[in-house]
Amino acid sequence: MNPMPDLIPMLKQLRLSGILDSIESRNRQAIDEKLSYMDFLATIIQDEVARRTQKKLASALRRANFRNHKTLEEFDFTFNPHINRSLIMDLASCRFMQEKVCIFIVRPCGTGKSHIAQALGHCAIRAGHDVLFTTQSKMLAQLHAARAINAFDRQFAKLAGVDLLIIDDFGLKPLKGSQDEDFHDVIAERYERKSTIVTSNLDIPEWTDAFPNRILGAATIDRLRHGAYKVMLEGKSYRSPRGTQKDQKITCSKTQKTPGQKGGEIG
C-alpha cells in the first residue's frame, strides 16, 4: 500500500512539504543501501534543514538589496600583491558586528569599495544577520518620500534597526535641505547599537564638507569614527580597459586595533 497520498497532506500541515521533493529518491536510496529506519529519517530531515537554510539565505539576500552579488570568493586578491588580505578576512569574521562599530572603505573610484562592502554583507548574512545595502542618495530619498506619505517612522526604524547597514557612495553628492539631519539621526540611532559600513571616494577628513551644517556633520562623523575600522584603497581602477591595468597599490589598515581587540577612534 502506497502511503504517499496520506503523507502529502500531513507534511503540508506540518509545513514540511519540502520533504516531498526528495522523499522518493531517498526512499529508493534507503532500499538500495539497506538503510535503517532511523538513517532514512535522518536523511530526509537533513534535506529539509538544508532546504530551509538555503531558502532563508535567498530571502535574506533579497532583503539586503545588493546592487550585485559580490562575494569575497570572487574578489581578485591577486590583482595587487600588496593587498592586506588578512585584514579583510578578519573583517569577514563579523567580529566588528559584535563590537557594534563601523567600517569605512574609502578612496578612489573603481578600487573595489562597493565589492568589498557587499562581500562583507554576504558574510554577515551567512552568519545569520540581517543586512541592508543602499546608497546615500537612495536612503535619503526614501526617507524624504516616506515623510510625504506619513511612513517616515517605519522607514526610519528599518534603517535604524537592521543588523548591518551598508551606505555606499557617501559624499558623492552634497547633502541638501534636511538630508544632513536625517543622515545624522540614522547614525545617532545606530551608534553603539548596530554596525554600519560606509564607502566613500572622499577621505574621512573631507566628510564634513558634505554637510551644510558643519557642526551637525562633525557630530555625525564623530559617532561613525568611534572605534571604527578603516580600509584605505589606493591605486588605479579595476574598471581600467583590458590590457592597461598595471601594478596597483592597495593598502588596508585597521586603526589602532589588532584582531580580536576593540580599538579606539580613527585619527
Tens digits of residue pLDDT in 66-85: 988 889 898 887 776 666 77
Averaged pLDDT, 164-184: 94
**Which of 22-26, 46-50, 108-112, 200-204 has the weakest average pLDDT?**
108-112
Superfamily classification of domain 65-232: P-loop containing nucleotide triphosphate hydrolases (3.40.50.300)
pLDDT at 204 over 70: yes
Averaged pLDDT, 229-234: 83
Whether residue 153 contacts residue 143, with contact meaning beta carbons closer than 8 Å, is answered with: no
Please tell me the distance from the alpha carbon of residue 259 to that of residue 61, in angstroms, as a whole number: 27
Please give the mean pLDDT across all residues of the chain.
Answer: 86
Averaged pLDDT, 35-62: 92
Residue 253: its pLDDT value, please?
43
**Closest residue by Cα to residue 68 from 163, 159, 133:** 133
Extents of the domains making up the chain: 4-62, 65-232
Residue 4: its pLDDT value, please?
81
Residue 1: its pLDDT value, please?
65
Please tell me the distance from the alpha carbon of residue 238 to that of residue 45, in angstroms, as a whole number: 45
More confident position, 4 or 182 = 182
**Total residues found in the chain within this entry:** 267
Please tell me the distance from the alpha carbon of residue 90 to that of residue 85, in angstroms, as a whole number: 9
Whether residue 118 contacts residue 133, with contact meaning beta carbons closer than 8 Å, is answered with: yes
Please tell me the distance from the alpha carbon of residue 219 to that of residue 232, in angstroms, as a whole number: 22
pLDDT at 266 over 50: no
